[in-house]
Structure 1
């Protein structure tokens, strides 16, 4: 019997790998037709999105952290939730979870076959959707099948042409901090990017904006909400004070009340948590209930791979800071901890990012840098090229090159002054994906 189960699992795994490999992995970020394609597919399926209470989250940074905190609080208060998030770190199935459990390979394949059969009936082939579009649609199918109370639905790239924009008006439309990133895909400047993100605002939805949003961005979002007939959520800003911060998390006071511990370090997470408190207030206004103690419990149990993810037994911090804004937050956290020994940095970046400015931020606060090549053949800056850039611009910093993930971890553990010296892994989701697969992490 056990061997039969093993053979079946192996067959499912092989089929899953084959299906994923066949998918079109391009973003088609400038193709105006893609959202309409996804909308049509959702209509063919009977509109699974209309059966769900969706909280649609867009923005440049903080979407996944905001989603993780919100999910933990919902779950602690007795609500079930689905979460669609990208990109992934260890497994692409991380992108679709129900109550933090990844979709199984067999469930994914079952939904995939339903889609393929649907395409056949409508005279299109299996490549009718791209990889990201498949995951977007399958997530909605999976969440509807599980009849979750809420769906946390993160936009992938911008808003206008993003596959998640194909849904009908969601319960809430939420914006995290919008800053300059992906200029080649969604906008040349902050105004263009904000207009692209604002395109997800639909009639009848309730819009929640990050309290510290750039005023230009804020005005664009609010004008879009008024233009389409969406409601703008007005909420007195919650006062959140950091009482203590360590790599393991932060003790917080919320509106004068202490006793809250957020198990995600980094002062910038307070801004994301402020968005979560707005969402919670909006849901309470709609009649949903939240218990203070259960909310505390949820907050203390937030976990998110690769976003200020601390491994105390190895004294290693993983953070997917992949742009200037993200790196600013990481550096602020490192400075706040007043570390006695400067960290050892394992760094891998993409060549289409503003990595020179990222280096200007992170290099002054580290002892040495071990460069790696992220797992992205077309976009990765090689470890050698990154090392050469650092040596030229920062000659006083120790720089070494690691041939692969295992070598980088081994080297970092060997060269750091002691186990008390923090190792920081950052620069790209693709860097973290390779390094966190190392067996010793």
Structure 2
């Protein structure tokens, strides 16, 4: 009996691997036909999005952190939640989770087969959808079948042409910080990027905005809210004070009440947490109940792979800071910890990012840099190219090149001044993905 189940498991694993390999992984970010196609497929499937209470989250930075915190708060208060987020680090299935548990290979294969049957009935082929679109739709079907109370639905890139924009009106539309990133793809400046992101606002939704949003971005979001007939959620900002910050997390005083511990480090997480408090207030206004002590318990148990993940035993911090804003947040955290020894940095970046400014920000606060090649064949800046860049422009920093992830970690452990010196792995989700097989970040 056991052998039969093992065989079945092996078959499923192979089928899953082949499906993932077969999916179209190219970006179609400038293609206006993609969202209507996803909408059409959702129609063929009897609109699973309309059966869910969706909290749609968009913005440049902080989407995943905001979703992880909100998920922990919901779960602690007795609500189940589905979460769709990207990119992944350890497994593609991380993108589809219910209460922190990712979808099984078996379930993913079943939903994929269901989609293929639907395509045959409608005379289209398996390549009708792209990789990201398959994951978007499978997540919705999975969440409906599991009757989750809420869905935390994270936009992939911008908003206008993002597959997640195919959903019907969500319960809430939430914006994290919007900043300049992917200029060639979603806009040349902050106004254009904000317009692209604001395109997810739909009639009847409640709109929640990050308290510290750039005024240019906020103006665009408010105009779009008014134009489509959505409701802007007015909310008096909470007073959040950081009583203490360590690599393990933040001790917070909220509206004068101490005793809150957020198990995510980095002062910038306070901004994401302020969005969570707004979402909680909006849901409370809609009649949902949250208990203070349970919320407190939820915050102390937030887990998010690859975002300011600190490993005490090896003294390694993993953070997928992948743009200027992300690196600024990471550097601010490192400075706030008043480390006795400058950290050793394992760094890999994508060539289509503003990595020159990222380097200007992070190089001064580290002792030495080990360069790695991120796990993305088309967009990665190679470890050699990054090392050459560093040696040319920053003469006072020690630079080593690691041939692979295993070498990077062992080299960092060898060259750091002592075990008291923090190792920081950063630069891209794909850098963390390259390290995944050799040093689990969970």
How far apart in 1 are the matches of 2:3 and 2:118? 34
Quote how far apart the aligned CAs of 1:2 are: 2.0
Quote how far apart the aligned CAs of 1:226 are: 0.2
How far apart in 2 are the matches of 1:180 and 1:129? 28
Partner of 2:43: 43
After superposition, what is the alpha-carbon deviation per residue over 1:359-412, rounded to whole angstroms, capped at 9, x for unaligned?
000000000000000011110001011001111111110000000000000000
How far apart in 2 are the matches of 1:83 and 1:393? 42
**Change in CA separation of 1:342 and 1:18 when aligned onto 2, cut-off 3 Å:** same
Secondary structure of 2:396's match? coil
Secondary structure of 1:88's match? coil
Unaligned 5+ segments in structure 1 are: none
RMSD of the TM alignment (CA)? 0.7
Quote how far apart the aligned CAs of 1:436 are: 2.6
Secondary structure of 2:203's match? coil
Quote how far apart the aligned CAs of 1:440 are: 6.7
Partner of 2:113: 113
Quote how far apart the aligned CAs of 1:437 are: 2.0
How far apart in 1 are the matches of 2:417 and 2:9? 45
Unaligned 5+ segments in structure 2 are: none
Secondary structure of 2:144's match? helix
How far apart in 2 are the matches of 1:25 and 1:131? 5
Quote how far apart the aligned CAs of 1:350 are: 0.3
Q: How does 1:224-239 map to 2 (within 5 A)?
A: 224-239=224-239
How far apart in 2 are the matches of 1:301 and 1:437? 25
Structure 1 runs (4+) greater than 4 angstroms displaced: none
Secondary structure of 2:258's match? strand
After superposition, what is the alpha-carbon deviation per residue over 1:284-333, rounded to whole angstroms, capped at 9, x for unaligned?
00110011111011000001001101111110000000000000000000
After superposition, what is the alpha-carbon deviation per residue over 1:62-87, rounded to whole angstroms, capped at 9, x for unaligned?
00000000000000000000000000
How far apart in 2 are the matches of 1:293 and 1:363? 41
Partner of 1:371: 371
Secondary structure of 1:113's match? helix
1:335 paired with 2:335, answer yes
How far apart in 1 are the matches of 2:107 and 2:142? 8
Partner of 2:434: 434
Quote how far apart the aligned CAs of 1:434 are: 1.3
1:413 paired with 2:401, answer no
After superposition, what is the alpha-carbon deviation per residue over 1:9-53, rounded to whole angstroms, capped at 9, x for unaligned?
110000000011111111200000000000000000000000000
1:29 paired with 2:29, answer yes
Partner of 1:158: 158
1:324 paired with 2:332, answer no
How far apart in 2 are the matches of 1:226 and 1:439? 48
How far apart in 1 are the matches of 2:421 and 2:2? 45
Quote how far apart the aligned CAs of 1:418 are: 1.2
Q: How does 1:11-30 map to 2 (within 5 A)?
A: 11-30=11-30
Quote how far apart the aligned CAs of 1:421 are: 0.5
How far apart in 1 are the matches of 2:108 and 2:88? 16
Q: How does 1:237-252 map to 2 (within 5 A)?
A: 237-252=237-252
Secondary structure of 1:294's match? helix
Question: TM-score when scaled to structure 2?
Answer: 0.99
Q: How does 1:11-410 map to 2 (within 5 A)?
A: 11-410=11-410
How far apart in 2 are the matches of 1:150 and 1:120? 31
How far apart in 1 are the matches of 2:356 and 2:364? 13
How far apart in 2 are the matches of 1:310 and 1:219? 37
Q: Relative to structure 2, which stretch is displaced further, 340-349 or 389-398?
A: 389-398
How far apart in 1 are the matches of 2:437 and 2:62? 23
How far apart in 2 are the matches of 1:167 and 1:440? 34
Quote how far apart the aligned CAs of 1:439 are: 4.5
How far apart in 2 are the matches of 1:415 and 1:303? 30
